[in-house]
Structures are given as structure tokens and as C-alpha cells.
Amino acid sequence: MVSLEQFTSLGESFNHNVKSYIFLSQMPFQGLIEYLWISDNNDKGIRAFVNSDQIIEGLLLQPLSKFPGQDEQFTENTYQHPFSDEWFVLWGGTNELVNYHYAYENQRYAYDFLIMKDDRSFEGDASVNESYFQIARIGNKQLHFE
């Protein structure tokens, strides 16, 4: 929780040297709509979660790191995922706005995959691990993802 004065100060500081923000995406997630914007310099991002009453339930102002030498390198290996169904990438990409792993060199290009049903990754109590859709069947084997 921050006061209006603190929020105003934070916003002014964060927006220093930003001329505009570019809208990236809007996506339903966990009963909310997630909106993403990135600054014209690609060095700041904004994530907002809005409920069906158009009330902001979450807001993130994120400075973005850049690792252009690494981001422009591509693997020559071919990988196959251990699943074949359609899964949702929650975290994955080349900045902290879309991939919190990006800040850590040993996780920079990691992806988090979720099973989604009706724009949700769980059913029931969100604080209980067993509520999350986490079982994938590959062939005759069941794999548990945690």
C-alpha cells in the first residue's frame, strides 16, 4: 500500500525520459485481464491486472535489463517438450516484464508452462498446490509437474 503522494512521486520518477508507452498485449488470466505496455526506449514496462469491474487489482512498474549479446544468440540444438498438448507460457521472453527469470543469467531463457482451463491454472483454493492443473499424460505415463 502506498499513499497517493508516494504513488505520484514513484510514477514521475519511473516515467523520467519516457515519451510514450507501446501497448503489447491483453490476456485473460485467473479471472482478471492482464495488460502489458513497454516504453518507447524498451527500458521500462508496466503490467496491470484489471477485474471485470475495471478496477486495477495489481500494478507493476518494471525497469527492464538488456543483454543484447545473449538475446541475439540462438541455440543450434533441437529440443522436444515432454508434452504434446497445448500449454500456456506464463513466464518466457527477453525482459523481466514477461519473464522474471530473465534477471538471472542461469535462468534467463527459462519458460514456465501451465495447464490452462477456461483462462485459469487452478480450480478451487489457490493456496493449495493440489488445486492447480499439474498432471500431464504422455503415452502411458503420468508426469507430475510442480
pLDDT digits (tens, 9 = 90+) for 57-96: 999 999 998 887 887 777 777 878 777 777 888 888 888 9
C-alpha–C-alpha distance, residues 62 and 102, integer Å: 12
Contact 40, 48 (CB under 8 A): no
Phi-psi region of 117 (alpha: psi -120 to 50; beta: other; left: phi over 0): beta
Question: Whole-prediction pTM value?
Answer: 0.70
